[in-house]
Structures are given as C-alpha cells and as structure tokens.
Amino acid sequence: MSIDEPSPRRRRGAPAIASPKDLAWPQGHDLWVFAYGSLMWCPEFPFIEQSRALLRGYHRSFCISSHRYRGTPERPGLVFGLDLGGACRGIAFRVAAAEVLTVVDYLWRREMVTNVYVPKLLRVQMSGQQQPALCFTADRAHPQYCGGLSMDESAGRVCRAAGQRGSNRDYLINTVDHLRALGIRDETLEALVACVLAQEAAGQTPGQTPGQTPGQTPGQTHCE
C-alpha cells in the first residue's frame, strides 16, 4: 500500500466516520470540533465559540510521518495525531448548525489527504460539562503511523526533515510556543524540543526546505 492510498479503518470505541456524508449529526444542531495541533491557532473555518477542552483516552503525539509538508519520502518528518492512551488538552470550536456541512467538508480536505486519521465523535470536557466533538484520531493501521519511535529517533527525524512548508524543527518549536501562549504545557513535546536542541549542539543541523518559496523565512509559522 502506498502512502497516498486510503487504509482500512480500525474501529475503536466510537465508530469511525468514513466520509463527511456519514457524519451522524442531527440537522439544525451546532457541532463542536476538537483541535489539538495547528487547528487550535489556525482553524481557517467559521465558528461561533471556542473553549478549552479536555479529551480523555487519547494524547497528542508526534506519531504521523510527513512526506510532503514537513518532510519528504526520503527524509520523512513528523506531525501530530491523537494516539491512544492518556489525555489531551486542546481547544474546542463550536460551529453553527448552518455551517456544519461546509466546515466538515473543509476539514476532510485539510486533514484526510492520505486518510491517516480516523475521524470520530468523542466526548470532551468543557467548563464542567461533556459534549460530543469531532476528533481526528491517528490510524494505527496506516503506513504513515509511527508511534513507536523513541525520543532520540523522533528528534533525529525532526532535526533532518523539511518539506514544502518548512523545517520540521520550526514546526515543533512553533507548536510548543503556541501551546504555551494558550496556557497548555505539554511536557513530552518540551522534552522533544530539548532533545532536538541537544542533537543540534552535538553536530546535527536542521533540514533545508526543498523548493522553499522565495521570501519565506525558516521560522515562518504555517498552519500545518
């Protein structure tokens, strides 16, 4: 199976949602969308409310190989997925009922290019109450899933990888900076940043961006 082909879905707990038309959401109701990565500060879809949210049973993880935006097939980078176990603090966005179909279609185009995620409706905790929210969880059956990497292996990838939207190193550091600005401390990601910096100090150098857009600086923040 190539990295661009859809993978078979594994159903864990809440059923997977195969396509936007399969979203079992009652007409006329607002929809919450749970964001845990770049979607938190760069949603690029209309919403009427946002709230800090806690998802239990999954954690934020650098567990998806990136062969395009933050890496190449020869030197894959890493991007985020919701992996099984633990808990994840993020941001939930409430989408107005009239915009639900449009927003869900947009999210599929943005997140499901290679079907590396399993979209599910999961309960998140917000302001003392629980609400179902659309979550994009990592598909452990997909060839791009790489959740078994050690900290040193992950740091090595991050140091070397770069793609169409810049270096993997900058993506990681920008993400940690954004999380801190939102009042979210992710100890695992901060430890990974420290490991990356240590590898650089020992002689590693950040990856160069193939086909970098003129005028784009290495530290430029992108949504992906």
Q: Residues 98-141: pLDDT tens digits?
A: 999 999 999 999 999 899 999 999 999 998 899 999 999 999 99
Give the count of alpha carbons within 13 A of 223, CB side only: 11
> Which pLDDT band, with edges at 50, 70 and 90, does 203 fall under?
confident
Q: Are 38 and 70 in contact (CB under 8 A)?
A: no
Mean pLDDT of 21-46: 88
Q: What's the one-letter identity of residue 118?
A: V
Q: Which CATH class is domain 20-201?
A: alpha beta
Could you tell me the residue ranges of all domains in the chain?
Answer: 20-201
Element (H, E) at 66: strand 49-66
In this predicted structure, the answer to whether residue 13 has a pLDDT above a threshold of 90 is no
User: Who wins on pLDDT, 193 or 222?
Assistant: 193
Whether 219 shows a pLDDT value over 50: the answer reads no
> For 83-111, what is the mean pLDDT?
95
The reported pLDDT for the residue numbered 16 is 75
- CA 204 to the chain's CA centroid: 25
Sign of CA dihedral 123, 151, 11, 120: positive
Residue 1: the pLDDT is 28
Is residue 125 within 8 A of residue 90, CB to CB? The reply is: no
Model confidence at 52, in pLDDT bands (50, 70, 90)?
very high
Closest CA to 112 of 45, 52, 120: 120
The reported pTM is 0.81
Mean per-residue pLDDT over the chain, rounded: 85
Residue 207 pLDDT greater than 50, yes or no: no
User: Which residues, listed in sequence order, are joined to residue 118 by a DSSP beta bridge?
Assistant: 137
